[in-house]
Homo-oligomer: A and B are copies of this chain.
Amino acid sequence: MTGPELAEIYRAYIACLNTQAWPQLGNFVHDRVVHNGRQIGLSGYREMLVGNFADIPDLRFDIRLLLSDPPHVASILSFDCRPRVEFLGLAVNGRRVAFAENVFYEFRDGKIAEVWSVIDKAAMEAQL
């Protein structure tokens, strides 16, 4: 797979998240996906995302920068949202916060098999 092809798949994955098209998630995420060192599998991955949207009703994933170097993708995702209560252990309580997630993905069989994600918690703290 070429870099541009993999980037295209990644953009479709982000569109899947933003439309909360959960039945399609398995087209992009591997059955045995590992997230930050924990093998949560596709069902655990879906639960995590469903939980994120429950906690943050106005959640939206915006790609600010995208690198594709097969079999890896890296992106800076930017968020501007109002977590209802708590997020990352911070009592946000409906206030608006803007922050970035710097995240790396390894693809296998055309699907996301491993994710290494860091959210800019320090930036969020500075806004509260």
A88 interfacial by beta-carbon distance below 8 Å: yes
A65-B117 Cα distance, complex, nearest whole Å? 13
Q: Tell me the number of copies of this protein.
A: 2
In the complex, whether A118 has a CB less than 8 A from a CB of chain B is: yes
- Prevailing SS type, chain A contact patch: strand
On A, residues with C-beta under 8 Å from B are: 3, 65, 67-69, 72-74, 76, 88-89, 100-104, 116-122
Q: List 25 A-B contacts (CB under 8 A).
A: A3-B69, A65-B72, A67-B67, A67-B68, A67-B69, A67-B72, A67-B74, A68-B69, A69-B69, A74-B74, A74-B102, A74-B104, A76-B104, A76-B116, A88-B122, A89-B122, A100-B118, A101-B118, A102-B102, A102-B103, A102-B104, A102-B117, A118-B119, A118-B120, A121-B122
